[in-house]
């Protein structure tokens, strides 16, 4: 609870004004001081002070009336503007409880219909395409959608401006701060939920070719019925009358007769939210969030590094009071029956017979995309010898057109036994 930096003196025009006049503290000469005391203590002094106080009170009343009129005008303009703003849900042709998949499907359909390439850059249809894209970008972001549901398009714009300026969420509260001495809620650094890291193990073929993965993630989501307000209908989500939606109250404390201190404290009726719920949502019972799941499209790019971290912002647990946390997928490749990954290189263990190791051979290896890689030797191959096949490894992540190498390590399968004839023949052929 902070002290607002000013003190008020309240004087009733009908009360004895003389007690507010410091008649004993005139630092002027004796003659002038005596005149001042006699004037103040006489009836003329009392009448003069009362008249002065009344004029001051009337002036303050007129000022307060003008200020109230100005505030009402600001509110009327804001409400009219908000009513005229585009309804993103209607624009995309979806309900307010639309899920991620349905939202994406609706956007794809409309974006194809209104795309400038298809409409031949018609100005009106191009503007419609821009609005559709803007609506989808807002509603597909869990944090922006939460702000839009509670504060509308203007709230989203104020949020973006606050982020660009390095501040928090502003809005119309800042306007009223001008008239209430800063009684509105102060900009705060946006809070965010807990970040989550998940392991994503993919086949080695997907690292070679690149592939999209639909990952089912379980967690906490805003109630699809009330969109995080906790109210049964939008009409049941009302502005708190105790604090006029500011979330804080101004409390005055008398320090001495006519002297007050002014404090700002969190509204005890709405808990600082500025809103009150008349009827609670039947689905979440006013809890604003429910257990849920969603599908996140994770595209594994060609040559993605082992244990690469893929960040998805604001895809974690949702909350009406803070931005959703981030989800990070740690990508790794699953063991493969024919290849072992070594950075951008691939290693393959090939088994050949003793005869092939001596006289040479020709064979093929089926690669990750199905093409056949030919391996041939016309020389003696030693046990565990490695042959490098240039450009037959994994794509380089930053330069997918370039590849690593395929390293073939040879393992020689020796016979388990020999006949006498074979021993004699080998003894004659092989050098000693």
pLDDT in tens, 258-307: 787 787 888 888 878 788 888 999 999 989 899 988 899 999 999 999 99
Q: Is residue 137 part of a domain?
A: no
User: How sure is the predictor about 172, in pLDDT bands with cuts at 50, 70 and 90?
Assistant: very low
Say which CATH number the domain at 390 has.
Answer: 2.60.260.20
What secondary structure letter does DSSP report for 88?
Answer: H
Q: Is residue 417 part of a domain?
A: yes
Domain that holds residue 13: 2-64
Q: Is residue 36 part of a domain?
A: yes
Q: Is residue 41 part of a domain?
A: yes
Cα three-residue angle 373-301-299, rounded to 5 degrees: 130
Q: Is residue 158 part of a domain?
A: no
User: Given this model, what pLDDT does residue 329 score?
Assistant: 95
The alpha carbon of 293 is separated from its chain's Cα centroid by a whole number of angstroms, namely 18
Neighbour count for residue 120 (Cβ, 10 Å): 8
Q: Report the C-alpha gap between 113 and 125 in whole angstroms.
A: 9
Q: Is residue 393 part of a domain?
A: yes
Q: Is residue 112 part of a domain?
A: no
User: Given this model, what pLDDT does residue 43 score?
Assistant: 53
pLDDT in tens, 309-355: 999 888 888 888 788 889 999 999 999 999 999 999 999 999 999 99
Count of the separate structural domains present in the chain: 2
- How far CA 197 is from CA of 45, 194, 204, 333, 370, in Å, comes to 78, 10, 21, 17, 33
Number of residues written out for the chain: 432
pLDDT in tens, 108-119: 889 888 888 888
Domain end call among 25, 45, 64 = 64
- Per mean pLDDT, which range of 131-140, 196-205, 256-265, 275-284 is the poorest? 256-265
Average of per-residue pLDDT values in the chain: 78
Domain end call among 64, 80, 108 = 64
pLDDT in tens, 88-128: 998 999 887 777 778 888 898 898 888 888 888 888 888 88
Domain end call among 16, 34, 64 = 64
Q: Find residue 374's DSSP bridge partners.
A: 364
Q: Is residue 238 part of a domain?
A: no
Q: Report the C-alpha gap between 364 and 118 in whole angstroms.
A: 48
Q: Report the C-alpha gap between 375 and 204 in whole angstroms.
A: 21
């Amino acid at each position: 609870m902070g002290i607002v930096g000013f003190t008020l003196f309240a004087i009733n025009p009908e009360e004895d004004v003389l007690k507010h006049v410091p008649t004993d503290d005139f630092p002027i000469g004796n003659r002038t001081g005596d005149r001042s005391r006699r004037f103040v203590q006489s009836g003329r002094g009392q009448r003069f002070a009362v008249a002065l106080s009344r004029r001051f009170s009337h002036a303050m009343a007129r000022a307060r009336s003008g200020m109230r009129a100005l505030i009402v005008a600001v509110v009327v303009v804001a409400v009219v503007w908000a009513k005229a703003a585009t309804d993103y849900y209607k624009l995309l042709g979806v309900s307010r409880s639309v899920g991620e998949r349905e939202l994406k499907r609706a956007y794809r359909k409309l974006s194809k219909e209104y795309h400038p390439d298809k409409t031949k850059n018609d100005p009106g249809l191009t503007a419609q395409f821009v609005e559709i894209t803007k609506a989808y970008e807002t509603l597909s972001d869990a944090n922006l959608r939460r702000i839009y549901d509670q504060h509308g398009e203007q709230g989203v714009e104020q949020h973006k401006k606050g982020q660009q300026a390095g501040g928090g969420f502003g809005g119309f509260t800042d306007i009223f701060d001008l008239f209430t001495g800063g009684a509105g809620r102060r900009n705060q650094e946006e809070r965010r939920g807990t970040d989550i890291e998940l392991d994503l193990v993919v086949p080695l073929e997907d690292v070679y070719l690149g592939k999209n993965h639909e990952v089912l993630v379980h967690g906490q989501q805003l109630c699809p019925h009330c969109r995080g307000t906790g109210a049964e209908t939008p009409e049941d989500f009302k502005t708190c009358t105790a604090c006029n939606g500011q979330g804080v109250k101004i409390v005055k404390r008398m320090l001495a007769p006519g002297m007050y201190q002014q404090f700002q404290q969190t509204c005890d009726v709405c808990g600082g939210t500025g809103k009150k719920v008349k009827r609670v949502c039947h689905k979440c019972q006013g809890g604003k969030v429910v257990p849920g799941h969603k599908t996140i499209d994770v595209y594994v790019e060609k040559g993605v590094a082992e244990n690469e971290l893929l960040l998805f912002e604001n895809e974690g647990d949702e909350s009406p009071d803070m931005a959703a946390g981030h989800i990070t997928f740690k990508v790794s490749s699953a063991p493969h029956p024919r290849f072992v990954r070594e950075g951008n290189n691939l290693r393959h263990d090939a088994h050949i017979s003793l005869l092939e190791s001596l006289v040479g051979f020709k064979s093929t290896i089926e690669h990750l995309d199905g093409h056949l890689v030919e391996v041939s030797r016309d020389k003696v191959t030693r046990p565990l010898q490695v042959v490098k096949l240039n450009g037959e490894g994994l794509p380089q992540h930053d330069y997918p057109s370039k590849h690593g190498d395929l390293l073939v390590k040879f393992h020689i399968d020796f016979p388990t036994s020999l006949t006498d004839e074979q021993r004699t023949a080998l003894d004659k052929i092989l050098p000693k």
